[in-house]
Structure 1
Amino acid sequence: MNDNARASRKSRLPALAIVLIAVVLVGVVLWRTDRSPSTDDAYVYADTINVVPEVSGRIVELPVRDNQLVKQGDLLLRIDPRPYQAALDQARARLDALNRQIALTQRTVNAQQYNAESVQAAVERARAVANQAADTLRRTEPLLAQGYTSAEEVDRARTAQRSAQADLNAAMLQSQQAQAAVSGVDALVAQRAEVQAQIAIAQLNLEFTEVRAPFDGRVASLRTTVGQFASALKPVFTLIDTRHWYVVANFRETELKNIQPGTPASLYLMSDTGQRFSGVVDSIGYGVLPDDAGLVLEGLPRVQRSINWVHVSQRFPVKIEVRDPNPALFRIGTSAVATLERGPSR
Structure 2
Amino acid sequence: MLEFICCSMLTILPDFLFRRFAQGKRLGKEINLFSMWYELRYGLSSCFILTVSLITLIFYFHPSTSNATSFFRTVTILPEISGRVTEVFVKNNQDVKEGDLIFKLDDSRQRAAVATARAGVVEVDAAALIAQDDVRVSQANFDAAEAAFEQTKDEFERKNTLYQQNSPAVTEREVERLENLIQERLAAMDAAHSALESAKHRLDIQIPAQKDSAMAALTQAEVELAKMEIFAGQAGRIEQFDLRPGDYINPILRPAGILVPSDTGRARFQAGFNQLTAQVLHPGMMAEMSCATAPMRVTPMVIVDVQDVIPSGQVRPSDTLRDPQNLQAPGTVIAFLEPLWEGGIDHLPPGSQCEVNAYTNNHERLQDPDIGTAEFVALHVIDTVGYAHALILRFRAILMPFRVLVFAGHH
Normalising to structure 1: TM-score of the pair? Answer: 0.73
Match of 2:357 in 1: 339
Residue type of the alignment partner of 2:354: A
Quote the Cα distance in structure 1 between the aligned partners of 2:284 and 2:87: 45
Render the CA deviation track for 1:184-223: whole Å, top value 9, x for unaligned.
2343432221221122122223332322222232223324
1:251 equivalenced with 2:270 (yes/no): no
Residue type of the alignment partner of 1:53: P
1:63 equivalenced with 2:89 (yes/no): yes
Match of 1:92 in 2: 118
Match of 1:235 in 2: 255
More helix by percentage: 2
Q: CA RMSD in A?
A: 4.1
Secondary structure, counterpart of 1:45 in structure 2: coil
Higher relative contact order (CA 8 A, sep 6+): 1
Match of 1:168 in 2: 182
Same amino acid, percent of matched pairs: 18
Q: Do 1:264 and 1:280's aligned partners in 2 also have CA atoms closer than 8 Å?
A: yes
Q: Do 2:271 and 2:337's aligned partners in 1 also have CA atoms closer than 8 Å?
A: no
Q: Do 2:312 and 2:331's aligned partners in 1 also have CA atoms closer than 8 Å?
A: no
Structure 1 runs not aligned, ≥5 long: 141-151, 307-311
> Which among 284, 298, 301 is matched to residue 307 of structure 2?
284
> Which among 60, 63, 71 is matched to residue 37 of structure 1?
63
Shift of the alpha carbon at 1:169? Answer: 0.4
Secondary structure, counterpart of 2:246 in structure 1: coil
Secondary structure, counterpart of 1:218 in structure 2: strand
Quote the Cα distance in structure 2 between the aligned partners of 1:17 and 1:319: 40
Match of 2:237 in 1: 218
Residue type of the alignment partner of 1:318: I
Match of 1:315 in 2: 331
Larger mean CA deviation between 13-22 and 52-61 belongs to 13-22
More strand by percentage: 1
Aligned pairs, number: 317
> Superposition pairs for residues 113-152 of structure 1, below 5 Å?
113-133=139-159, 140=165
Residue type of the alignment partner of 1:177: A
Secondary structure, counterpart of 1:153 in structure 2: coil
Residue type of the alignment partner of 1:50: T
Secondary structure, counterpart of 2:113 in structure 1: helix
Q: Do 1:251 and 1:316's aligned partners in 2 also have CA atoms closer than 8 Å?
A: yes
Shift of the alpha carbon at 1:263? Answer: 4.8
Quote the Cα distance in structure 2 between the aligned partners of 1:38 and 1:132: 117
Normalising to structure 2: TM-score of the pair? Answer: 0.63
Quote the Cα distance in structure 2 between the aligned partners of 1:60 and 1:279: 50
> Superposition pairs for residues 2-41 of structure 1, below 5 Å?
7=23, 26-41=52-67
Quote the Cα distance in structure 1 between the aligned partners of 2:306 and 2:151: 89
Render the CA deviation track for 1:2-22: whole Å, top value 9, x for unaligned.
x99x6299x999865666666
Q: Do 2:70 and 2:269's aligned partners in 1 also have CA atoms closer than 8 Å?
A: yes
